[in-house]
Amino acid sequence: MSHPDYRVNLRPLGTPRGVSSLVGPHGVGASPGDKKSKSKTTRGKKKSIFETYMSKEDVSEGLKRGTLIQGVLRINPKKFHEAFIPSPDGDRDIFIDGVVARNRALNGDLVVVKLLPEEQWKVIKPESNDKETEGAYESDLPEELCGSQLPQQSLKGYNDSPDVIIEAQFDDSDSEDGHGNTQNALVDGVKKLSVCVQEKGKEDAGAPVIKDENTFTSQDSRVLPEKSLQRSAKVVYILEKKHSRAATGFLKLLADKNSELFRKYALFSPSDHRVPRIYVPLKDCPQDFVTRPKDYANTLFICRIMDWKEDSNFALGKDCIFTIDPSTARDLDDALSCKSLADGNFEVGVHIADVSYFVPEGSSLDKVAAERATSVYLVQKVVPMLPRLLCEELCSLNPMTDKLTFSVIWTLTPKGKILAEWFGRTIIRSCTKLSYEHAQSMIESPTRRIPERELPAISPEHTCDEVHRAVLNLHGVAKELRRQRFADGALRLDQLKLAFTLDHETGLPQGCHVYEYRDSNKLVEEFMLLANMAVAHKIHRAFPEQALLRRHPPPQTKMLNDLVEFCDQMGLPMDFSSAGALNKSLTEMFGDDKYSLARKEVLTNMCSRPMQMAVYFCSGALRDPAQFRHYALNVPLYTHFTSPIRRFADVLVHRLLASALGYRELPDVEPDSLQKQADHCNDRRMASKRVQELSTGLFFAILVRESGPLESEAMVMGVLNQAFDVLVLRYGVQKRVYCNMLPLRSHHFQKVGKKPELTLVWEPEDLEQEPVQQVITIFNLVEVVLQAEATALKYSAVLKRPGTEGLLDPQDQLGCGNHKEEQD
């Protein structure tokens, strides 16, 4: 989970253009006539390319004395070697010339600069306008460079020479004696593969840098008296790294197919040309990139600068992305990433399998998937929406293989506040497949180093500690997101859910347990919800009449009023005025003891009955935006984006998002037609849910038949005149207990005040004993026995006679869920 291994797992990024000294075969930083640089290259000794940053103490002192100046760095988007910071006195901006003077700072960073000697200041013609002497502000830039939309391809007219050249690791085998050849420019134990500092767009890679016609050294000023000087400076410290350190762009093959470089590298062209172009090793590109480069012409690749030391031309770029799913899951829809930023914030990514790439609209595959509309999860198997080749291999985000994804990436504060948001197609390589149990162990052991043997395989580029840190960071942010979500009025009604373990040979259930919803589940859910909400807003802004959204109507009035009346009768001060008020009542009314938790389960079950189903709809089919709302989440817009392998609605949403981002043409579908698709998805989803419930009931009945009778505590949910309903707490099932199935002498129903009450009189087991009375009221804890019926695969619940010993003590056996649960 950490940002780019986004394919390209861009390894070392190289030196940007604009270095002040020429670079030739003698090495970086050496002039062509510098013989020392040719003869004095030594191994094991690093030569600084950039100045070491000043200490915090010296910076603080310099700012106080006025010898240093701070400001936000702005890089000219049209002349990439030029950068500026505002002058404190409001005069002309201070000029910073070239990458070396910028000292690894990027656009938007808050930097501290030191003025250069006057003879090194920029000389400007008097007729130069302000735009040539000051950096462009964001408002001056085209929209696609301001973060709202990324261009779909790099600017034309750029040749294949990069501004950054990746270095290869030094290999002693280059020469027999291990010392190498000085012509290879073995500097710092690294072999330079190529050198170049020409202007972008210039064809001659060996040509020297040509200065801007408005720029002269101060020695020129004596012959150009009409010129004026612009103060120039160099960066000596970065106070705050405002730039995300992420570069987005496109890959293409080099033009010269006969060159050695062509066999080793591809060219990475950033969308924002204030970031340098890069040679990327082909081993870090998609496996079929060389043979099918056009397939990736419109695919956006991302990398992040991880480190950039003063003794290296290279910024280092990578991270780690991983999945968290049930241990048995094979269709991995989603992956997460989390990168710690220098300013204390996080860059968090949700990466969803790009199923729409593999399912062309109008194809036979598309028609079958649309008809199925959903995968159906039975206890013993999955009936997939898509062919297994797609859902378990090509689309599934299996670890250590390149996968096509749609990503939503945010810059988030530790408190979960969104500072920035980005959408786009990406290629990722998940570093590992974590189960919920793995992630939970990391959350529960924040300081313990988890042994590798306790975790699944992790790709060599990443470590267990790195994954552990990412999980903990995501957990911290998720807790804040969840806290804020419920503070804003969200509601969650958790229902007990059975999970089974099956015999590998017979397929019959060996045991079951109530699935536990833990912090690892909550972690994943929060970011899936965040992505779904973000995409809902994105597609609705782009297509107000054609967005496929998901709404949750308020509870049914009659049933809700009945529940309000029941709670009043029971003396329960529940607030049903809103989703948030109901959630607060359920959360704050009950304690943590066994009885209180059982009462909460029963009341939660009761509260779910008036709730309506959430449904898909086309935004153009409803005229009242108030009807768009999602009651339980308490948000104005919501959709499903995160599970396209198992839900066709998500595939439709992916296509809309692709159109909104310019990856494909605008959707040619009328609101009525899209609403019909939404209705079909709703029907199939409800049918799937019902079949899943029947499958669970069937397998539990088999378990009772094979392993029963089963005992459990139960809580009374409702009382009738001849029977009563219970929630069986150990297994999460609801059953009705009939009086005529019990050895009773008599039973009597009455209402005490408004509370229903059923009095049972048990037939004594010994004729010498007195009959035992038992009063059944709502919220009573009782003991029940589940037993198989003689015919068919059914089971019934009977009340255990008061005062009798347990018939058996069945051990809880672990089971596992089939697929990822998320709030509907």
Residue 185: partners with Cβ closer than 8 Å, 6 or more residues away? 25, 26, 27, 41, 191, 192, 195
272 is in an annotated binding site: no
CB 119 within 8 A of CB 258: no
Separation of alpha carbons 37 and 19, rounded Å: 17
Opening angle at CA 362, ends 361 and 363, nearest 5? 95
Parallel/antiparallel/unpaired status of strands 733-738 and 82-85? unpaired
Q: Of 509, 513, 514, which is closest to residue 707 (Cα–Cα)?
A: 509
Separation of alpha carbons 676 and 674, rounded Å: 5
Long-range contacts of 667-670 (CB under 8 A, 24+ apart): 667/543, 667/546, 669/546, 670/620
35: which 2 tokens?
A: 């013989």
CB 637 within 8 A of CB 628: yes
CB 636 within 8 A of CB 534: no
569: which 2 tokens?
A: 């009768």
Q: Of 15, 438, 2, 428, which is closest to residue 192 (Cα–Cα)?
A: 15
CB 605 within 8 A of CB 495: yes
CB 6 within 8 A of CB 336: no
For residue 46, report the phi and psi dihedrals to the nearest 5 degrees.
Answer: -85, 135
Dihedral angle sign, alpha carbons of residues 613, 619, 620, 626:
positive
What Cα–Cα distance (Å) separates residue 723 from each residue in 27, 322, 371, 803? 90, 51, 43, 21
Q: Evaluate the omega torsion of the peptide bond into residue 112 and state whether it is cis, within 30 degrees of 0.
A: no
Separation of alpha carbons 651 and 656, rounded Å: 9
Distance of CA 116 to the CA centre of its chain: 45
Which DSSP letter does residue 706 get? H
Continuous segment of H or E residues that includes residue 533: helix 519-542
What Cα–Cα distance (Å) separates residue 578 from each residue in 196, 491, 608, 628? 65, 9, 14, 16
CB 112 within 8 A of CB 54: yes
Q: Which residues share a beta bridge with 94?
A: 85
Opening angle at CA 19, ends 194 and 96, nearest 5? 160
Dihedral over alpha carbons 8, 9, 13, 17 (to 10 degrees): 10
- Residue 740: is it exposed, middle or buried by C-beta count within 10 angstroms (0-12/13-18/19+)? exposed
Number of neighbouring beta carbons within 10 Å of residue 177:
6
Which DSSP letter does residue 232 get? B
- Residue 777: is it exposed, middle or buried by C-beta count within 10 angstroms (0-12/13-18/19+)? middle
Q: Give helix 364-372 / helix 648-660 axis angle, nearest 10°.
A: 130
Could you write out the DSSP letters of every residue in 192-206?
------PPTT-S-TT
Residue 469: partners with Cβ closer than 8 Å, 6 or more residues away? 340
**Strand runs labelled E in 291-442:** 301-307, 315-317, 321-325, 334-340, 346-353, 376-377, 382-383, 402-412, 418-435
325 is in an annotated binding site: yes
Residue where the block lists tokens 């009328």: 670
Q: Binding site for Mg(2+): which residues?
A: 325, 334
Q: Binding site: which residues?
A: 325, 334
